[in-house]
Structure 1
Amino acid sequence: MAKRALIQLEGLQMGTGLLYVQAALRLGLHPITLSADPARYDYLAADRIEAIRVDTDNLDTLIRECSRLCATYDIAGITSANESFYAKVGKLCQHFDLPGPNPAFIERCCDKFTQRRILAEAGVPIPDYRLATNANDVESSAAEIGLPVVLKPTVGKGSSGVRLCRNVEELAEHTAYLLGEKHPRILVEEYAQGPYYSVNIMGNDVIGIAAGDFGRPPHFVYREFTFPAVLTDDEHDRITDLSQSCLRALGLGWGPTNIELRWTTLGPVVIEVNPRLAGTPDPQLIQLAYGIDLITDHIKVVIGEACDLRRRHSHTAAARFLVPDREGILDLISGGSGAAAVPGVADVKFYVKPKTPIVRKGDYRDCIGHVIAASPSFTQTEAILQRAVDLIDWSITPLDETKQSAAP
């Protein structure tokens, strides 16, 4: 009998890709990663996971490779933890008659302008917005909306290219950056101010709502996530109702969805709908908080099996990201073992090694590690997290000092 295999398009560093591989193995599946560059993912070689080099941007090439694999394996499902490839996953699933997301709905959701237009037509509260294709468009759109505004590319993830522009100088600077980075379409958005929440959904069920915190503007680099968010019953119900309105408007509801919103003076306002499972550390936090393994449940949906989304317990789980405040060369990062030994700490991970150049991008790539903790209460979890983070230390030599020391 042929081995049942799970095909994964590309992967993700920072933990999520490996978690998918581990969950597949626990379910008795043989994980296979198709990637344009398998060497990008350290965990594939470390865990001897089958990986095949293939052009993952070419649908016909992917169909041929999956057809070839069908001669050896029983392909149980095809998926990806990477939003950029999720529409191709849907097309492959349609071709091979496997359960999967609707690729047309995924594609229109991944275009932030199209997503905004659909949500607005459905009456979902969103920030005021305009589409711009040049510097004049950006300037006039910002004048209509009123500064400050948020500029972002219409396609992207992890806050890449997203910046708060508080004056005309910042507006011009970031416009030039986005156009220079070959982003032909720019979204100019009203700055929605208020507490940030992240909603994790499987199918049509809201699994958990997290509270998130960012570092200093003008960028949106995550500092901390906490499950569950501290909400009144009315706030929870309003966020749940709003999230399900997004699913209906965008045609989602198969598999995972992540919705980001702000609670403004007018109530909850949707910032973004992501037609995928949220990345690290949301799946780990949900498992610690509720005992629900969303990655395993996602794979079960992918292979056509029923998943169990019942909560096993109710704890508070939180993650603190380690974010440097300067650029340079990372001399050392230490204290991980001591932090991991603190009772209640569930995970300590460093994403970079000493001697790595630190170049701040203003997005998720600025994080150099995280600490995750859980306990029965919010106050206790925060105390555990702070105690662990206080044990971690790192030092960075600025690049100008590095150049000086290297000079003859």
Structure 2
Amino acid sequence: MKILIINRWDDEHQSDYGSRIDHSAHEVSYVTVPKHVPRIPATARHIQVVENYLSPEPVIEAAVAAHRACGDFDRLLVLSEFDLLTGAQIRERLGIPGPDTEAVLVFRDKTRMKAKVAAAGLRVPQFQQATTIEEMTAFRAELGASVVVKPRTGAASIGIFVVGPDQDLAATLADTDLADYQVEEYLEGPIWHVDGLMADGSMAFGRASRYMDTCYGFSQGHPLGSAVQTGPEADTMLAFTEACLQALGLERGAFHFELIQTPTGPVFLEVGARFGGGEIPWVFQDVYGVDLIGDWIRLELGERPVTLPAPGPDRGHGGFLLVPEPLGQELVSRPSMVGAVPGLYAEELPEPGHKFDGKGGYRFILGRFRYHAGSAAEVEEAIRATIRDYRCVLADLPTESADDVQPVAVPEPAR
């Protein structure tokens, strides 16, 4: 086949297309940015370089240029959530099979996805598209409770606000462009995420995990932990997830699904038609032997995934911890936690001298930790131990005065 890949990544795991696609059997072309070119296999058919991904237009034009150079493409691989809509536009323009804009919007637009899930009789929060303070105020007044204000097509908890029933909405949102926003009810309860693969309209593989804190809490400076769960509660989350994905029409591919556990059952929060971020791909590879990225690619190419393990605790439980970056700080020193915490098998830590500038996302942060233990409780205890004992020394930026150097404890997760 002739395959075009829109490549946003440069790390050795996510951008390892060479081991996942036989470049001698297929003609594989790429659109990427200059610093990622070294990651492209030497056997690539064609490489088209764009300066950045800030706007979709140059990426689309680069795809058109690759089409002119190589002819019609049979498949387009777009694996980053931030590029899914761009990929849909490329498919429509070049006549490449695969999800079009309408199909992708169901997994990018939070109002569309909730409406479609609700139409299937599955529970979602009360919600409304709202682009003015007046609309949001009226919604909150009718609800009589706290609300969540979020971008309709956002990701990674960027631009989200949780606003209490007595807080000033206008003041809270004063500097926010609300043109692409929605508002929904705030629900209390543990947040879960389910990650896996759909094939032929059913869940080929999935694991249900429960967060310790939330992605929103991470954006507010709290560590984010997660542990894979098994048992009746996890089975309920898996079944609910599959029903929602079928309602949304996801026939094949990776997914990252989030839901809240309430006393009356699970409630849909949102879903991405892509693999989960943070440490999820690495934990699934290390603990369960599942390459979410590679199997997603295989599904897109019409191949079967590699052998997937059946649900169950036989391979133990995986988990992860992300410690957010301390903005405006420079790292002076930090300990290694591998060997000090049972169940912690890998860590990714910044080097002393690293400056935290607010651009770290989930990758360039104060600490990334991965766990493997016999039970979810053991993983959760290991995460708590890491939070308790991970003590870093930081200095304020830009001054380098010795008076500004201070040890910093990792904050406890929000309750």
Alignment of 1:197-212 (within 5 A): 197-203=192-198, 204-205=202-203, 206-212=205-211
Q: Relative to structure 1, is the Cα distance of residues 341 and 31 closer, same or farther in structure 2, using a 3 angstrom cutoff?
A: farther
- Please state how far the C-alpha of 1:297 moved relative to its aligned partner: 0.5
- Please state how far the C-alpha of 1:327 moved relative to its aligned partner: 3.3
Could you tell me how far apart the structure 1 residues matched to 2:153 and 2:357 are?
25
Tell me if structure 2 keeps the 8 A contact 1:101–1:255.
Answer: no
Q: Relative to structure 1, is the Cα distance of residues 354 and 119 closer, same or farther in structure 2, using a 3 angstrom cutoff?
A: same
| Greater relative CO (CA pairs within 8 A, separation 6+) | 1
TM-score, normalized by length of structure 1?
0.79
Q: 2:282 matched to 1:277?
A: no
Could you tell me how far apart the structure 2 residues matched to 1:143 and 1:219 are?
27
Task: Look up the match of 1:140.
Answer: 138
Q: Relative to structure 1, is the Cα distance of residues 327 and 293 closer, same or farther in structure 2, using a 3 angstrom cutoff?
A: closer
Q: Relative to structure 1, is the Cα distance of residues 119 and 327 closer, same or farther in structure 2, using a 3 angstrom cutoff?
A: same
Query: Considering only aligned residues, what root-mean-square deviation do their CA atoms show, in Å?
Result: 3.7
Tell me if structure 1 keeps the 8 A contact 2:148–2:163.
Answer: yes
- Please state how far the C-alpha of 1:121 moved relative to its aligned partner: 2.1
Q: Relative to structure 1, is the Cα distance of residues 394 and 120 closer, same or farther in structure 2, using a 3 angstrom cutoff?
A: same
- Please state how far the C-alpha of 1:81 moved relative to its aligned partner: 2.6
Q: Relative to structure 1, is the Cα distance of residues 231 and 165 closer, same or farther in structure 2, using a 3 angstrom cutoff?
A: farther
Task: Look up the match of 2:99.
Answer: 101
- Please state how far the C-alpha of 1:158 moved relative to its aligned partner: 0.7
Alignment of 1:4-403 (within 5 A): 7-12=4-9, 18-29=12-23, 33-35=30-32, 37-39=33-35, 45=38, 52-54=48-50, 57-58=56-57, 60-70=60-70, 77-93=75-91, 100-169=98-167, 171-179=169-177, 183-203=178-198, 204-205=202-203, 206-214=205-213, 223-227=224-228, 229-232=229-232, 235-311=233-309, 314-324=315-325, 326-336=326-336, 339=338, 344-350=343-349, 354-359=353-358, 364=362, 367-382=365-380, 384-385=382-383, 392-399=390-397
Q: Relative to structure 1, is the Cα distance of residues 246 and 267 closer, same or farther in structure 2, using a 3 angstrom cutoff?
A: same
Letter in 1 for 2:327: E
Tell me if structure 2 keeps the 8 A contact 1:126–1:270.
Answer: yes
- Secondary structure of 2:243's aligned partner: helix
- Please state how far the C-alpha of 1:159 moved relative to its aligned partner: 0.8
Could you tell me how far apart the structure 2 residues matched to 1:6 and 1:277 are?
20
- Please state how far the C-alpha of 1:321 moved relative to its aligned partner: 0.9
Deviations 1:339-393 (A, max 9, x none): 37877544311368634144499x7589433111213333444455566666644
TM-score, normalized by length of structure 2?
0.78
Could you tell me how far apart the structure 1 residues matched to 2:285 and 2:218 are?
32
Q: Relative to structure 1, is the Cα distance of residues 306 and 47 closer, same or farther in structure 2, using a 3 angstrom cutoff?
A: closer
Aligned identity (percent) is 21
- Secondary structure of 1:177's aligned partner: coil
Tell me if structure 2 keeps the 8 A contact 1:94–1:100.
Answer: no
Tell me if structure 2 keeps the 8 A contact 1:23–1:295.
Answer: no
Tell me if structure 2 keeps the 8 A contact 1:76–1:303.
Answer: no
Q: Relative to structure 1, is the Cα distance of residues 244 and 357 closer, same or farther in structure 2, using a 3 angstrom cutoff?
A: closer
Task: Look up the match of 2:408.
Answer: none
- Please state how far the C-alpha of 1:31 moved relative to its aligned partner: 6.9
Pairs aligned (count) = 385
- Please state how far the C-alpha of 1:77 moved relative to its aligned partner: 4.1
- Secondary structure of 1:311's aligned partner: coil
Tell me if structure 2 keeps the 8 A contact 1:208–1:286.
Answer: no
- Please state how far the C-alpha of 1:66 moved relative to its aligned partner: 2.8
Could you tell me how far apart the structure 2 residues matched to 1:222 and 1:170 are?
28
Letter in 1 for 2:315: S
- Secondary structure of 2:302's aligned partner: coil
Deviations 1:214-242 (A, max 9, x none): 26859576611212x2442xx33432332
- Please state how far the C-alpha of 1:126 moved relative to its aligned partner: 0.6
Instruction: From the two aligned structures, give the one with the greater helix fraction.
Output: 1
Tell me if structure 2 keeps the 8 A contact 1:200–1:207.
Answer: yes
Could you tell me how far apart the structure 1 residues matched to 2:78 and 2:372 are?
28
Could you tell me how far apart the structure 2 residues matched to 1:366 and 1:187 are?
29
Gaps in structure 2 of 5+ consecutive residues = 405-415
Structure 1 range deviating more: 306-315 or 258-267: 306-315
Tell me if structure 2 keeps the 8 A contact 1:260–1:273.
Answer: yes
